[in-house]
């Protein structure tokens, strides 16, 4: 729980605006699948937002669509993605390559497989600098050493000559972060950056990311399924389910008063140190496969304890929409969780630990 986040949302025009983003996978001989549908959010400089949800909810596809990294074949992307006001959907490959690595960068989930095993770390850092910044090889090498030092890799000159398999997991992720930061991007997307790491290393990497946002004013999009990460880092949170955003709220609000039953279930399923020994965990029943299409009704309805007949389109006569739900909040639910006023604090910090 940092003071910086509590200071409120930074002002200024958003770095990234995503409007009504949809991604469909089309394969010949198979029905189209909608991976992401009608997703909208914005991130301002120095702000961190979280895209939260379980595997397959579309959060990673969203990030790849923003970066323009989805394969072109068999994929349809629609809607609008603007980086500093510049439309990226439909932009040509050369334009996107010019922006990627320079203005928007990404840190991936598995640092070992995300690094080229046959190329020294140094080359993998300097190649970004040489591509986007007007530097000589010597300058790039010096800058690479400075970057590794900045992300907390000891003895950077030696590490630059080493290969990924010679580094520890935490160091590899730091190296990837160094590459992502090398051109001081306006936007950084971190896709589950701590999932493959030990718990102690996770904390260090998150702390590093937090510092970098504070120092550089980079807009950060954290993609995660880990509510602990959200609690420690994000200013605003978008919860996704089956390709749609189902709840948006300020971090404190979300932890204190989750409205969507899915969000409530996620929070309730986090193990807590202060619960009595032997107390059972509270999972969300069913699995992500027990879903219906959003056209048929609320996709979470089959697993939802609050579900009623009018969660189905057939009964209600309309699909479930994302609607404003109090100041700064949005909600896609007909039967949300109700909360007595002000029972906050404890829940948020509990889930954060």
Partner 1 sequence: MLRFIVRRLLQLIPILLGLSVLLFAWLRALPGGPAQAALGERATPEAIERYNELFGLDQPIYVQYLKFLGRAVQLDFGNSARTGRPVTTEFLERMPGTIELTVVALVFAIGLGIPLGYLAARKHGSWVDSTSVIASLLGVAIPVFFLAYLLRLGFAVELGWLPGSGRQDVRMDATRITNFYVLDGLLTREWDAAWDAVLHLILPAIALGTIPLAIIVRITRASVLDVVNEDYVRTANAKGLATATVRRRHIIRNALLPVSTTIGLQAGLLLSGAVLTETVFAFGGVGSAIYDALFARDYALLQGFVLMLAIMYVLVNLVVDISYGFLDPRVRVQ
Q: Which residues bind partner 1 (CB under 8 A)?
A: 67, 69, 93, 96-102, 105-106, 108, 110, 113-120, 123, 127-128, 131-132, 163, 165, 176, 179
Q: Which is nearer to partner 1, 18 or 348 (CB)?
A: 18
Query: Taking the complex as a whole, how short is the minimal distance between the CB of residue 124 and partner 1, in angstroms?
Result: 8
Strands (E), the chain: 16-25, 33-43, 48-52, 75-83, 86-87, 104-107, 187-191, 219-224, 236-241, 244-250, 323-324, 330-331
DSSP code for 300: T
> Do the bridges between strand 48-52 and strand 236-241 make them parallel or antiparallel, or are there none, so unpaired?
parallel
Residue (77 or 301) nearer to partner 1, CB: 77
Least distance from C-beta 176 to partner 1, angstroms? 7
**Which of 101, 232 has the CB closer to partner 1?**
101
Torsion sign (Cα): 215, 128, 221, 195 = negative
Nearer to partner 1 among residue 27 and residue 272 (C-beta): 27
Is 6 or 69 the residue whose CB approaches partner 1 more closely?
Answer: 69
Minimal distance in Å, beta carbon 157 to partner 1?
18
State how far the alpha carbon of 99 is from the alpha carbons of 18, 135, 242, in Å.
16, 17, 29
DSSP string, 169-237: HHHHHHHHHHHHHTT--SEEEEESTTTTS-HHHHHHHHHHHHHHHHHH--EEEEEES-HHHHHHH-SEE
CB of 45 to partner 1, least distance (A): 20
Separation CA 67–CA 77 (nearest Å) = 12
Work out how close the CB of 290 gets to partner 1 at its nearest, in angstroms, rounded to a whole number. 29
Rounded distance between C-alpha atoms, residue 159 and residue 163, angstroms: 8
CB of 311 to partner 1, least distance (A): 38
Of 89 and 102, which has the nearer Cβ to partner 1? 102
């Amino acid at each position: 729980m940092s003071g910086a986040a509590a200071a409120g949302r930074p002002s200024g025009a958003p770095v990234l605006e995503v409007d009504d983003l949809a991604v469909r996978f089309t394969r010949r001989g198979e029905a189209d699948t909608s991976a992401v549908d009608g997703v909208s959010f914005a991130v301002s400089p120095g702000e961190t937002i979280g895209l939260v949800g379980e595997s397959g909810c579309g959060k990673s596809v969203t990030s790849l669509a923003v970066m323009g990294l989805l394969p072109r074949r068999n994929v349809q992307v629609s809607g609008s993605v603007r980086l500093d006001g510049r439309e990226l959907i439909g932009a040509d490959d050369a334009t996107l390559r010019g922006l990627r690595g320079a203005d928007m960068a990404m840190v991936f989930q598995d640092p070992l497989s995300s690094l080229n095993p046959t190329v020294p770390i140094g080359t993998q850092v300097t190649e970004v600098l040489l591509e986007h910044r007007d530097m000589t090889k010597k300058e790039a090498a010096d800058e690479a050493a400075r970057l590794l030092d900045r992300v907390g890799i000891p003895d950077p000159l030696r590490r630059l000559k080493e290969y990924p398999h010679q580094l520890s997991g935490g160091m590899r992720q730091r190296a990837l972060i160094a590459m992502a930061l090398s051109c001081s991007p306006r936007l950084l997307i971190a896709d589950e950056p701590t999932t493959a790491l030990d718990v102690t290393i996770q904390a260090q990497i998150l702390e590093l990311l937090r510092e970098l946002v504070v120092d550089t004013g980079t807009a950060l999009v954290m993609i995660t399924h880990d509510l602990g990460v959200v609690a420690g880092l994000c200013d605003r949170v978008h919860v996704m389910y089956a390709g749609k955003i189902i709840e948006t709220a300020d971090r404190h609000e979300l932890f204190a008063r989750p409205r969507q039953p899915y969000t409530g279930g996620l929070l309730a399923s986090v193990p807590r140190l202060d619960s009595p020994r032997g107390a059972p965990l509270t999972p969300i029943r069913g699995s992500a496969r027990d879903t219906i299409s959003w056209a048929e009704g609320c996709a979470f309805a089959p697993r939802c304890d609050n579900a009623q007949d009018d969660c189905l389109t057939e009964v209600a006569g309309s699909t479930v929409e994302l609607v404003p739900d109090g100041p700064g909040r949005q909600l896609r639910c007909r039967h949300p969780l109700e909360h007595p006023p002000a029972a906050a604090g404890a829940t948020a910090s509990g889930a954060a630990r």
